[in-house]
Structure 1
């Protein structure tokens, strides 16, 4: 078989382990270099990313660059428009083939189509692979050959398709091999890059990465539970599995004061770990026990992987979700959108302890517990009567694991504007606090000025003026505001 000079373009797959496109490129190339493009449209702190996520990205790229060097080649970091830069790099190194793994966001799909067309006109071959989903979206259709719009039926079909493709009786999914040794550029090709305006990308101390990190104000890396880099992602998965935390996930996952989730959301979003490796980790735990409670807990965690793929499938099949609600009637909802209320919500100063604790966790750590994400989203939409799209954008500008499909799906679920068959769902923040933070431990951690308040008063929010210690009074009445919301909702129904 003839092998060619090739480029592998990293995107949401910042790893060597179980990287389908990278393995195929390494197998079929006589020489191979890697590239990552810092695309300004995906690094917009006003819309598409956060400082926490940029920190995770930058640190992960530093490790990935070292892993390319260990294997005998290089990862170049470019900064600018991928449509121009991928083509220019291919010309400089005389690359005949360009490999990448497919992405599912509307902007990326359109961008990749333009790049593929440009490379094809230049007589270069493009090879793309599905890597970030366990099941190919084209295979998950209803009996009427339509995309699923409800999670339950989607999950059942998803599991059925996985069961068909599992590689062994122990329920593991086949993963790709890890490229061990690569052949990089020769001196002539290196010289062509050094003599071009791409020369700043050639060393393992890429100027682009260090500029990304040095200009970043996110400094709470010790508080962020998501750890960047492939090696840390594997450690976090192994810790979650082998410590037995996954075995109690069914109930403990809803308690924000506990460290009982995997914290792999950012790793899955940027691809420092693969979804297949994560699935296999869960199966290892499941195969090691016959305890029904533990098995149910593991299955609950697996369903979170299915939720991730459900939302990605939804965005692939309904790209208009990026812009607005699935339920069109929400386009006519008369949002109040009070700027002072939105600011209080974002700063954790609403006077509702569980809301403020969650928003302060986000502000300080770049991450928020999933139960709390649902509580604060419901509060913004159905108590403050603020357009869910403002909350969705706020999260994307704040979260270390901000992901368009998951973030949009979660906000539409909370806002009742999405595909959820139970559209009217309102969370009472005080009941949620009593149920999931019954000792007030989570609230006290993130709102230390209330640490002296008795637990019943802390959970109910009934705090006297003398005890507040500068903590604000509630900006709204939950009962009154949700009554207004229900009336407005009934009018658009």
Structure 2
């Protein structure tokens, strides 16, 4: 094979990249390519994405190649480069989002019209969406049976980085424009940073993961989700490196949850638009309550801490996400789409499958086998932030409140200045 274009999307790495590895092994020339699509709003993730692309470009240059960057309609731009280099094939990593699948269909049709090959490779998940199916139905609707099937499934080999990337002469590399860091969030983008984080976290933190991964004050989570979302690290390699170490099962189970939501999204592409599980719920339209929730001014300290962490860091502890989601949908009775859109706007790891799958789960319209589950924010906070460290970190108005009142400041006398009364009962739920 003479020339292959490898289109990068949510797979911004060279390690364990099946499409890139096979292209480098089979083709004389390889054109690694990324198209900045103006139709996709990067939002808060623009800076992280820009750093990931610059890092990918640097790594590819070290291997003798480069990252060819274009801006515009992805199919038109890929076809334009394909014509210039006389490509024989276009390869991508298969995605599950409705947009990603439409893009793949359009690329396949455009390639067929030019008598070029097209192929979608695995790599976005550990097990490709659609590969595991129950005895009845096209996908798993409950996590535990999926976890059993996923754990027993034979996985593909984890691949190293190619030794060399041979880019044809005369292909302008292009610039990463319109994506600049704005000082948002604490995490830097890119494979180099992501692999280093994975290495250190597995070495120093994995053993204690089961014991403390729900702890809000210490936050023992890996914070690898933005790197997984953009494909800076491979989910298959994450699992392969973790398995066999003390504390690995609980962590690997969380990676499996990511695969679970991806296979749900693959089977139910309307995950962001309509209930996965129909429920008779009367949602409330309350703009003032929604604004208070977004700004972290609900009067419920643990909810406000989570929402302020999101706004300032582009990140929120997973348990806090469940608490603030349950509060919005089960206490304020606000539709899950409102919360999901806000998270999609601000999270560095905002992922179609995980974001909407988790919001439907917490709202009781998704894959939770207990759809009426309600998380009590005060009880959760007392258990997972007993001394109020997490709350004080993000709600400075409560910095001087003693631990006995930190999660129920409305009981203080006199009232806490500059902090609102709670939006209704705070102790709802179990």
TM-score, reference length from structure 2: 0.96
Return the index of the structure with the highest Cα Rg. Answer: 1
1:405 and 2:353 matched: yes
1:176 to 152, 159, 162: 159
User: Following the alignment from structure 1 to structure 2, what is the Cα–Cα distance between the partners of residues 465 and 229?
Assistant: 50
Structure with greater proportional helix content: 1
What's the CA shift for 1:475?
Answer: 2.4
User: Following the alignment from structure 1 to structure 2, what is the Cα–Cα distance between the partners of residues 127 and 418?
Assistant: 32
1:333-372 counterparts in 2 under 5 A?
333-372=281-320
Local SS of the residue matching 2:5: strand
Local SS of the residue matching 2:270: helix
Residue 124 of structure 1 aligns with which residue?
116
TM-score, reference length from structure 1: 0.84
What's the CA shift for 1:321?
Answer: 1.7
Residue 228 of structure 1 aligns with which residue?
189
1:211 and 2:188 matched: no
1:23-422 counterparts in 2 under 5 A?
23-42=21-40, 44=41, 49-51=42-44, 53-144=45-136, 146-162=138-154, 165=155, 174-186=157-169, 189-190=170-171, 193=172, 202=173, 206=175, 209-213=176-180, 218-221=182-185, 224=186, 226-243=187-204, 245-285=205-245, 294=246, 297-330=247-280, 333-422=281-370
Q: Which moved more, 1:112-121 or 1:463-472?
A: 463-472
Local SS of the residue matching 2:308: helix
Question: Contact 1:237 / 1:281 at 8 angstroms: preserved in 2?
Answer: no
1:6 and 2:4 matched: yes
What's the CA shift for 1:138?
Answer: 3.4
Question: Where do 5+ consecutive residues of structure 2 fail to align?
Answer: none
What's the CA shift for 1:322?
Answer: 2.6
Q: 1:466 to 1:174 in 2, by over 3 A?
A: same
Question: Contact 2:219 / 2:317 at 8 angstroms: preserved in 1?
Answer: no
Q: 1:156 to 1:348 in 2, by over 3 A?
A: same
In the TM superposition, structure 1's runs of 4+ consecutive aligned residues that sit over 4 Å from their partners are: none
CA-atom RMSD in angstroms:
1.8
Question: Contact 2:409 / 2:415 at 8 angstroms: preserved in 1?
Answer: no
Residue 290 of structure 1 aligns with which residue?
none
Q: Which moved more, 1:313-322 or 1:351-360?
A: 313-322
Q: Which moved more, 1:298-307 or 1:370-379?
A: 298-307
What's the CA shift for 1:463?
Answer: 4.6
Local SS of the residue matching 1:386: coil
User: Following the alignment from structure 1 to structure 2, what is the Cα–Cα distance between the partners of residues 252 and 362?
Assistant: 21
Local SS of the residue matching 1:328: coil
Instruction: Give the length in aligned residue pairs.
Output: 430
Question: Contact 1:453 / 1:467 at 8 angstroms: preserved in 2?
Answer: no
Question: Where do 5+ consecutive residues of structure 1 fail to align?
Answer: 166-172, 194-201, 286-293, 487-493
Q: Which moved more, 1:118-127 or 1:391-400?
A: 118-127
Deviations 1:205-237 (A, max 9, x none): x2xx34210xx5x4244xx2x431111111111
Local SS of the residue matching 2:3: strand
Question: Contact 1:450 / 1:469 at 8 angstroms: preserved in 2?
Answer: no
Q: 1:229 to 1:337 in 2, by over 3 A?
A: same
Local SS of the residue matching 2:178: helix
Question: Contact 2:410 / 2:421 at 8 angstroms: preserved in 1?
Answer: no
User: Following the alignment from structure 2 to structure 1, what is the Cα–Cα distance between the partners of residues 115 and 413?
Assistant: 73
Question: Contact 1:338 / 1:386 at 8 angstroms: preserved in 2?
Answer: yes
